[in-house]
Structure 1
Amino acid sequence: MHFLKELFMNIRIRDIIDIAIVAFAFYKFFMLIRETRAEQLIKGILVLLVITKISEWLQLFTINWILEKTMTVGVIALLIVFQPELRRALEYIGRSRFLMKTIIEVEDENIRNVINEILEAVASLSRQKIGALIVLERTTGLNEVVETGTLINGKVSSGLLINIFIPNTPLHDGAVIIKDDIIKAAGCFLPLTENMNLSKELGTRHRAALGITEKSDSLAIIVSEETGVISIADNGKLSRYIDIKTLEKILEDVYITNEMRRGLFVRWRIKNGEKQE
């Protein structure tokens, strides 16, 4: 009790801030690796640390020596094993809002047109049961993915998107990459997800969509070739059976920041003859 009393008496505001920052960093790290391979690896490492300490207490020198050497070499192995997670963490820090200006730089008057063109294309592809995979680039660049496909650099239009995915055409099997209001490339190859717990009924398009959203902050829209069902992949998570209204709201979240929404709303009121407050 005396020790605890002295400890609390000597705590400074700076110490509290220091502890809070470390706690926040650990919390963000846990949220980043949750439900990934890294979570299971971390648990395995913690078990090894506990066994190493127990072997030291019990004076099991041979076991302790092996475990200590393994942990020493394991630091280098961890950098290799955790390479995808480390990359995600650095990208997460890099695209944090306090370091970025805006998510997208499309002019306000073009935003609604881009959203409508994508919605019209997805709705048409879904009705015709034509498989499609559309990736919307956010802040993480996808140039390495673009280079695997055919460069287009054309304005987003429903007609162009539909024609790209028509069966038995050269580009229909790959993914389309869209940045702002430009279709950058088509027929692109995406990394497949490493999640082994996915349903067997999910095909390559869904696995590729999850793969690209695990390695970047992009949003992927998938249309099933068998059922015409629309799905969304975001941050390594898959949402299926999305209707057009829901998709419209999701696209608005991608393209329209809060500032853009206020600007569009004010102009809409002025155009409709309402007095601005």
Structure 2
Amino acid sequence: MDRIIIWFKTQAANFSFPQIPKSIEIIDIVQILMIAYFVYHLILWVKNTRAYVLFKGITLIAAFVLIAKIFQMNVILQIFRGVSVAAITAVVIIFQPELRRVLEQLGDKSIFDFAFLGTSNAQSDKRFSDKTLNEMVRACYEMGEVKTGALIVIEQNISLTDYEKTGIPVDAILTGQLLINIFEKNTPLHDGAVIVRGDRVTSATCYLPLSESMALSKDLGTRHRAAVGISEVSDSFTVVVSEETGNVSYALNGEITTAVNPNELREQLHKIQKLSVAPESSRIQHWKERVKHEKKYDKKPDK
């Protein structure tokens, strides 16, 4: 403890505030605004993609390195210096799709778009109504009774727009009958996932990532692995109806709960209904809509 106190005292003694210029010019204000703008968008990007998990990991490593520096753990510091360059390169490779998507979005926008973000493409409120909740529950268990397979992904804070693009646009008010018709066997839309945003079905026949977790039971089919897969890369809530058993399950945060009853499913839906984003100003909604996942999968959920 004494060493920590001494280290902080030394750092405080050596710290000096940067000199404040006697006069601030227009170019200084412009620079400050530009830096604030890009930092804000970086934070949004980190929050709304897989990079958020990475950011938490980096924070933990930074705290560990700080402790190593305070206690002069030179071997650990030397190892960290040796692997830091390789780690940065690995991060760029792993998150290449997200980085490419950000650059594409920058290229798609004009200067006017950056200065005045409009409201025409504002993202709608993602909270779904009690009526939508009840329609989903009813449809899932009606499909379960006749063993009709279904895969329903409910978007929360992290955008699923890129997964929507792998399917067929629907953009219809969610009703139980609509879900039953979509997943009816031998219909054009029955295979793949449905993505729900708020009270609307946005797309059907969507491709989802398959989980590679070894912890999953071998008895689980492709639909269940797809449900877990999408929950591993986003905060979505996914409902699965088994075509073999008719059981209803749900996946959240990389874990799946199987064979739930209607009351259990309704309770979980009520929980995410309360956690879903509240209405915000259209400007903030538009900014959040500009950050997306970027990863396409060439596998499609089977029956």
Regarding TM over 0.5, the answer is yes
Q: The residue matched to 1:241 in structure 2 has which SS? A: coil
2:166 maps to 148
Q: Map 1:44-123 onto structure 2 (within 5 A).
A: 53=75, 68=82, 72-81=85-94, 104-106=126-128, 111-123=129-141
Query: What is the TM-score with the length of structure 2 in the denominator?
Result: 0.55
| 1:206 matched to 2:224 | yes
Contact 2:126 2:155 in 1 (8 A): no
1:247 aligns with 2:259: no
TM superposition shift of 1:6: 5.2
Structure 2 counterpart SS, 1:198? coil
2:148 maps to which residue?
A: 130
Work out the CA distance in 1 between the residues paired with 2:244 and 2:156.
Answer: 29
- In structure 2, distance between residues paired with 1:237 and 1:84: 25
Whether the aligned pair in 1 keeps the contact of 2:127 and 2:199 (CA below 8 Å) is no
Which secondary structure does the structure 1 equivalent of 2:154 belong to? strand
Q: Which has the higher contact order (CA 8 A, sep 6+)?
A: 2
**Do residues 221 (structure 1) and 239 (structure 2) align?**
yes
Write out per-residue CA displacement over residues 48-76 of structure 1, whole angstroms, 9 at most, x where no aligned residue.
xxxx949x9xxxxxxx9xx94x7644531
Quote the Cα distance in structure 2 between the aligned partners of 1:233 and 1:84. Answer: 25
CA distance in 2, matches of 1:84, 1:194: 19
Alignment partner, residue 293 of structure 2: none
Q: CA deviation at 1:161?
A: 0.4
For these two proteins, the number of residue pairs brought into alignment is 202
- Residue 166 (structure 1) shift: 1.0
Distance in 1 separating the partners of 2:275 and 2:245: 33
Aligned partner of 2:270: which letter? E
State the AA in 2 paired with 1:104: K
Deviation at 1:202, TM superposition (A): 1.2
Gaps of 5+ in 1: 13-30, 47-51, 57-63, 87-101, 261-277
The superposition leaves residues 76-123 of structure 1 with CA deviations (integer Å, 9 ceiling, x where unpaired) of: 12442477999xxxxxxxxxxxxxxx97345xxxx2211111111001
* Aligned-partner residue type, residue 243 of structure 1: N
The TM-score with structure 1 as length reference comes to 0.60
2:126 maps to amino acid: I
> AA paired with 1:136?
I
Partner SS for 1:183:
strand
Q: CA deviation at 1:141?
A: 1.4
1:231 alignment partner, one of 249, 252, 261: 249
Q: Quick one: distance in 1 between partners of 2:171 and 2:259?
A: 30
Measured after TM superposition, the shift of residue 129 of structure 1 is 1.1
CA shift at 1:252, angstroms?
1.1
Q: CA RMSD in A?
A: 4.1
Q: Which amino acid aligns with 2:228?
A: L
Deviations 1:139-197 (A, max 9, x none): 11111111111111111111110111111111111101111110111111111113233
Tell me the equivalent position of 1:188: 206
Counterpart of 2:203 in 1: which secondary structure? strand
Cα pair distance change 1:71/1:244, threshold 3 Å: same
- Structure 2, unaligned stretches of length 5 or more? 13-51, 66-73, 100-123, 279-303
Change (3 A) 1:81 1:145: closer
Q: Percent identity?
A: 39
1:232: Cα distance to partner?
0.7
Q: Secondary structure at the match of 1:256?
A: helix
Give distance in 1, aligned partners of 2:186 and 2:96.
Answer: 37
Q: Is the 8 A contact 1:103 1:139 kept in 2?
A: no
